Chains A and B, each alone.
Chain A
Amino acid sequence: MEFLLENILNLIGFLVGLSIGIMSFIGFRNTGSPTLFRLTIAFFSISLGFFVIWVGYMAEDLIIKSGSIAKWVQTLGIAIQTVGYFFIAFSHSIKSFFPKSRYFRSIGVFPLFLISSVQIEHIFRAVSFILLAYAAIETMLSYFENRKKGTISVSVGLSLLALGEFLGWYSFLFPESILYYVSMIIKIVGLIALFIPVSKVPLTKIKFDEGLE
């Protein structure tokens, strides 16, 4: 039952993240915008993170059958998601602090997490929480400027992802409790909240133009 729940939740996270990533990629291909490129990396990373954990659970359920998912698989998935959260926060930091920097606007800075520790999953979750909380606050501030409903939905989504990461980190203290599942459900609701404004972007008349590259 636990494995089934984990499978479903991680699969939903993978699909929602992938959908937003594809939308961002289409936008990047059509406009060449560096912001959309960073969002593409962010949501493909988040999606891939969920996918890695989902594959870990599926492999455990169908092949390995040891009773618990390998710790390194879970850590790897969370680390990949953290990279995604980093790029969302990074886009906001560029907008707020380096609006004229061609260097930061044109390329991404890849985060370097070279910390060796058994508790590395704790660190990734803590970093994810900080990045998501920062991005949620910046998005909320943007809402006060543009007053668009989609922006508040994204801000709520990022806040829920931050809360989900926090509860996921906190659940280490109570490993047998329901906290971890609550954190997963909150994260999925957060991703769906992110998807709501994205789903309203009409793509029917947009086509790829190879000449723009």
Chain B
Amino acid sequence: MYKKMAEYRTHMKIIGDILSTTQDDLQDENGASVTYLIRKANISHSRISRILKTLVSQGLLEQVKSQRSNKYRISQSGREFLQAYYKFTNFADSFGLSI
């Protein structure tokens, strides 16, 4: 039986998936845990840790410290980035490309 090959996700697409999860698919108002993001974004722990660190340092995500673990919430800059990401994903799609 024909099985479709897994689609390669660009670094940008992974960032888009993480930000999208923290915006639209939150567990609670404090944000999403790392474990939840790993499951939703389908990415390894070591890789997501690096990406989250970068996103927090660039102000796209806010780190919320709770008793058990760190949680992540999208910032206003993150929302603007995500908006631009969606728009220019469509733009690149028109050229048959992915950003």
Which residue numbers of A lie inside 8 Å of B, CB to CB? 23-24, 27, 30-33, 35-36, 39, 88, 91-92, 95, 99-100, 105, 138-143, 146, 148, 150-151, 153-155, 197-198, 201-203, 205-207, 209, 211-212
Residues in B12-45 with C-beta less than 8 Å from chain A: 12
Q: Can you show 5 pairs from A to B with CB atoms below 8 A apart?
A: A31-B81, A36-B88, A92-B97, A99-B10, A212-B60
Identity of the chain B residue whose Cβ is nearest the Cβ of A142 in the assembled complex: B96
Is there contact, CB below 8 Å, between B77 and A211? Answer: yes
Which secondary structure dominates where chain B touches chain A? helix
Identity of the chain A residue whose Cβ is nearest the Cβ of B88 in the assembled complex: A27
CA A140 to CA B12, docked complex, whole Å: 23
A27 touches which of B8, B10, B84 (Cβ 8 Å): B84
Which secondary structure dominates where chain A touches chain B? helix
Identity of the chain A residue whose Cβ is nearest the Cβ of B15 in the assembled complex: A31
Nearest CB in chain B: distance from A169 CB, A: 24
B interface residues, tally (CB under 8 Å): 24
Is there contact, CB below 8 Å, between B95 and A212? Answer: no
Is there contact, CB below 8 Å, between B88 and A154? Answer: no
Is there contact, CB below 8 Å, between B12 and A154? Answer: no
CA A33 to CA B81, docked complex, whole Å: 12
Interface contacts beyond A105-B10, A198-B94, A209-B81: sample of 17 additional A-B pairs, CB < 8 Å, sorted by A: A27-B84, A30-B84, A31-B99, A33-B12, A99-B8, A139-B96, A140-B96, A142-B97, A148-B94, A150-B90, A201-B87, A201-B90, A206-B80, A206-B84, A207-B80, A209-B80, A212-B77
